[in-house]
Chains A and B, each alone.
Chain A
Amino acid sequence: MKKLYSLSILLLLTGLVFGQAPKRKSPQAYNSRAQNTPGGNFLDKQWWLGLKAGVNLSDVTVDKRYSALSPGNYPTSQTDKVYDDFNAIGSQVTLEVSFYFKGFTFSLQPAYRHSVFTYSNNYEWSDPENATNRLELTYDNEQKVDHAELPLIFKYDIIGNRLRPYVQVGVYYGFLINANKSVEVSGTDYASGGVNEFTNDPVIIGAKDLFANNHWGLLGGIGANYNLGNVRLNLDIQYRKGMSLINSTENRFGSDRLSGIGEAMDDIKINNLAFSIGCLFPMRYLASGFKTLDQR
């Protein structure tokens, strides 16, 4: 697996190098007046380097449901987890390296992504012959998952001037860095001589083994660059559609703490809506009097 990681990173780096190499010109070429005039070839392409950060919201797609509880006298569907869609805020930091060429941008955006998603289970035990023999429990689960991601993105600038909106599509590959899981049990106990509503302290555990070491997905989105002097301010909105499972299928019941209370992760794919703002810097400059792309 490590060899595959190394290979993929090597491929990407190779891509960056080769992406530049064939178009590289001799130093004399940059002194050519004809090419360095506004609207000349020089301004048809540009390298951008920048940093973005923002927040994200997640939801999951369930491929197959699992539970450590196997009911004998009520439907299995009652053990299904109820996922909360896009209700917990995560965050991400992205380094963007982009190559612009005639309205199209090829961008590599390695990112550190902190995703949060939540779900709950509800259980009830009762006695038809004694209404006070009753216990209701709710298990609120929160997962915090950190991934290093390597997205490859193609952007197209819809219109081009100082404000340059764009659309983008791409693919990303994520590597698991860390994961934590907390389970808070709350409930109402009617059997203790009154109505006893309680909330237990959450059980918080490291859950890295419960998640897949890597996953991939597709992304699409919109955004806009605003050219401010030589730099670009960037607003970026991406929707990421997970294409592979983010949970570990082998270690589903690997945590005694969780399976002991009936908890087992479903086979899930994570989807993510990310909002970022950032700043990009051009890597190719002209002499004074020429700026980047917005000065045509």
Chain B
Amino acid sequence: MTKYLFSLLLAGFLMVTSCVEETNPEFDQKSFTKIYDNNLYTIDYFPIDMVQTEDGGYLILGGRRLEDSNFTGIYLMKADKDGNFVKDIEVDESFVNPIAQLAFVNNNYYFFCMDPLTLQAQLGQTDANMENVNISATSGELYYPSAMQVDGNNFVLLSYNHLTKQSVLAVVNTSGVSSQSKAFTIGAGDQVEEPIINHFLRTGRQYPFEAGRIPGGLYYFNGFYNYTFSLVFTDLVQDDPRGVVQGIQDDGGFSAVKPLTATKFAAARFNFGDNYILPNTILNTTGTSSSVDLGGNTFPELEQNAKVKILRTVLKAKNVLVYGSNTRSKQIGLYFYDEATGAFLSSKYLGFSNPFEIAQVISTTDGGLAVCGTTYLAGRFPRICIIKIDAADIKGF
């Protein structure tokens, strides 16, 4: 009987000890928070865009403060799949003003920036390990790059021509050659231009410039047109826009827009500081309308004229829209909506103790999300951070 008893106890013991915690590299990648510190007091890096590389790591395009220029410099950083810092590059000061998107095309990563002297738009290119960073000038009169999005193997680039005071939307290939472009006046007078220049100098409000294309359809940009911050649709053939959703000078307009179909959009708008989320809205792409008439879900918890990022992705086998923004309590708020119906699904707030601000939210190859942003260590040192979220940690659907 004693032998039987000890066998039972041993079996029970082995069973329960098999359930204990063990170091699990899989968990290290599924969920983490990483803050990329630098012990220099005055260093100031900020993220602009992030992509996940094929090795599971993360490539971040950022900006940095320059001592000898009013513009921001270019900063590139690589983290491994666990979020640990791998390397960074401070790109030479002869190139400034990097903009989103950091685009993956033909196994290379591309971004636009500009020459601080000529103000000409430049196309930067690097690889997943940042072995080389090559930057070359674009062709055509493309100045002050403002926003870019990939369209196939080309880039849809929004830029600002300070000579003609026009917003310029162009299709640029990976060699920097512009194949199509159209320019649209921002309106006459220095007062219209001033906030745009302040945006580039980062001495004023940061406007949510965007550029892109409705899949297979019209091109669009979110920028200044005819004295207002507007969403402009164009076929890049006609001189006039095909459609315009007007804002109210620079007090109202879209803070983010993502086409879902030819006329259906996921969007967010601002109006005199207030923020509205429109996860399922029909926009008139071939006529003139006003963003003020679109209504939307109001979000008083968001900071004034909040930065908004929209991600269209699949989470837990469901097509969802992820809205990321900054709250008044200095957290990053993520809001999940059903893409098909626009119904609210869930929310999640990131960051505590120190302030957090969003730069980008992306989907990851493991079905989760990764949020890139800025946090302020010790409440004062701006540092780039990545918050990786496992899909299982998103509750509510």
Question: Which residues in A have some Cβ–Cβ distance to B below 8 Å?
Answer: 1, 4-5, 7-8, 11-12, 14-15, 18-19, 21-22, 63-64, 68-74, 76, 123-128, 130, 133-135, 137, 152, 171, 173, 187, 191, 203, 212, 214-216, 243-250, 252-254, 256-262, 264, 267
B19 CB contact (under 8 Å) in A12, A64, A134, A214: A214
On chain B, the number of residues with a Cβ less than 8 Å from chain A's Cβ atoms is: 52
Asked whether, in the complex, the Cβ of A260 is within 8 Å of the Cβ of B21, the reply is no
Question: Which residues in B have some Cβ–Cβ distance to A below 8 Å?
Answer: 1-2, 4-5, 8-9, 11-13, 15-17, 19-24, 27-28, 30-42, 77, 79, 83-85, 88, 331, 349-354, 356, 375, 377-378, 380-381
Asked whether, in the complex, the Cβ of B34 is within 8 Å of the Cβ of A72, the reply is no
Asked whether, in the complex, the Cβ of B9 is within 8 Å of the Cβ of A262, the reply is no
CA distance A258 to B354 in the complex (A): 10
Asked whether, in the complex, the Cβ of A137 is within 8 Å of the Cβ of B378, the reply is yes
- Write the nearest CB–CB distance from B24 to chain A, whole angstroms: 5
Chain A residue nearest in CB terms to B380: A135
CA distance A253 to B11 in the complex (A): 34
CA distance A187 to B377 in the complex (A): 13
Asked whether, in the complex, the Cβ of B20 is within 8 Å of the Cβ of A216, the reply is yes
Chain B residue nearest in CB terms to A22: B1
CA distance A23 to B9 in the complex (A): 19
Asked whether, in the complex, the Cβ of A11 is within 8 Å of the Cβ of B9, the reply is yes
CA distance A187 to B21 in the complex (A): 35
Chain B residue nearest in CB terms to A126: B41
Asked whether, in the complex, the Cβ of B41 is within 8 Å of the Cβ of A264, the reply is no
Asked whether, in the complex, the Cβ of A250 is within 8 Å of the Cβ of B31, the reply is yes
CA distance A187 to B379 in the complex (A): 13
Q: Which residues of B contact A69 (CB under 8 A)?
A: 34-35, 37, 377
A68 CB contact (under 8 Å) in B11, B35, B77: B35
Asked whether, in the complex, the Cβ of A72 is within 8 Å of the Cβ of B79, the reply is no
CA distance A15 to B17 in the complex (A): 18
CA distance A130 to B13 in the complex (A): 61
Most chain A CB neighbours (cut-off 10 Å) among B13, B19, B21: B21
Asked whether, in the complex, the Cβ of B352 is within 8 Å of the Cβ of A257, the reply is yes
Asked whether, in the complex, the Cβ of B39 is within 8 Å of the Cβ of A125, the reply is yes
- Write the nearest CB–CB distance from B27 to chain A, whole angstroms: 5
B27 CB contact (under 8 Å) in A130, A173, A250: A250
CA distance A216 to B83 in the complex (A): 31
Q: Which residues of B contact A267 (CB under 8 A)?
A: 23
A249 CB contact (under 8 Å) in B16, B27, B356: B27
Asked whether, in the complex, the Cβ of A1 is within 8 Å of the Cβ of B5, the reply is no
Asked whether, in the complex, the Cβ of B13 is within 8 Å of the Cβ of A70, the reply is no
- Write the nearest CB–CB distance from B44 to chain A, whole angstroms: 12
Asked whether, in the complex, the Cβ of B15 is within 8 Å of the Cβ of A260, the reply is no
Asked whether, in the complex, the Cβ of B36 is within 8 Å of the Cβ of A70, the reply is yes
Q: Which residues of A contact B12 (CB under 8 A)?
A: 7-8, 11-12
List 28 A-B residue pairs with CB atoms under 8 Å apart, sorted by A's residue number.
Answer: A1-B19, A4-B19, A7-B12, A8-B16, A12-B9, A14-B8, A18-B5, A19-B2, A70-B36, A72-B37, A72-B77, A76-B84, A123-B377, A123-B378, A126-B40, A128-B40, A134-B41, A173-B16, A191-B41, A216-B16, A216-B17, A245-B20, A250-B27, A252-B28, A253-B31, A259-B33, A260-B375, A267-B23
